[in-house]
Structure 1
Amino acid sequence: MELHKKELENRSAREVFEDHLELAQKGELETDLERNYSGESVLLTNYGVFHGREGMKEAAKLLKDQLPGGNYNYELKLCHDEMCFLHWTGKSDVSVIPDGADSYLIKNGKIMVQTIYYSVQKLP
């Protein structure tokens, strides 16, 4: 999906949110960051605060290391005006995440602020 700058800016929060989730499921991090995140985005997590697209890459690597080769299920998706919420779960051969919860503040077609909480449980 090739979108021009003006088209990207005019997307609703839900459109940005859905595009982000679709690209995340496909593992297309670079496209997701460029298309859906502000260069000044901030991510607040139970593992720290991450800034900008480089920070998003760092957080994504952390999750990938915690749930190697994992797959994710989106349990609940909600949006209201500029805010969206996601409840998700994840599973890999070595660990599970039963309680992922993300929130997003989306303005002018970009994710400006995101929060993520999740806990990792190692499998026996």
Structure 2
Amino acid sequence: MRTPEQVLKDHLRRRQDGDLESDLRHNYHPEVRLLSAEGIHHGHDGVRKLAEILKSYLPAGEYRYDQVLTDGNIGMLTWSGRCGEDGGIHDGVDSYVIEDDVIVAQTIHYSSQ
């Protein structure tokens, strides 16, 4: 069994590598619940949809992970991203619930510039 910190670090590494499908297989429960400003989404298709929306704001996928915190089965990530010289995201915050080696719930917040 991996610790929640190990699950999140693996999730972030795979995303940094642009490997969404591998991330889904290794780190997300098939029925994961996702809450964001884009609404409520479920399952791997929900993760794909939200990743597609984020990619529309940051097509090059240039992310910086500022802080990863875990306490028990809860995790939080603060992050930012750049798109060109003037655009990007400066206030990304995701929270996670991790059970049995996978992410079972996630909230996502960010604002685009």
Q: TM-score, length-normalised on structure 2?
A: 0.96
Q: Distance in 2 between matches of 1:99 and 1:38?
A: 26
Q: Contact 2:57 / 2:83 at 8 angstroms: preserved in 1?
A: no
Tell whether 2:38 aligns with 1:74: no
Which residue number corresponds to residue 94 of structure 2?
Answer: 102
> Partner of 1:3 in structure 2?
none
Per the TM alignment, residue 68 of structure 1 is displaced from its structure 2 partner at its CA by 1.4
Per-residue CA deviations over 1:43-96 (Å, capped at 9, x if unaligned) read 101111111001100000000011111300011110111011000000012621
CA-to-aligned-CA distance 1:78-123 (integer Å, 9 cap, x gap): 01110110000000126210100000000000100000000001xx
User: Quick one: distance in 1 between partners of 2:17 and 2:40?
Assistant: 25
Tell me what 2:39 maps to: 48
Q: Mark the runs of 5 or more structure 1 residues left unpaired by the alignment.
A: 1-9
- Determine the structure 2 residue equivalent to 1:4: none
Mapping for residues 6-85 of structure 1, pairs under 5 Å: 10-85=1-76
Write the distance in 1 (CA, Å) between the matches of 2:68 and 2:4: 12
Q: Which runs of 5+ in 2 are unaligned?
A: none
Q: TM-score, normalised by structure 1?
A: 0.87
How many matched pairs?
A: 112
- Is the 2:58–2:83 Cα contact (8 Å) retained in structure 1? yes
Poorly superposed stretches of 4+, deviation over 6 Å: none
1 CA distance for matches of 2:21 and 2:87? 25
RMSD: 0.9
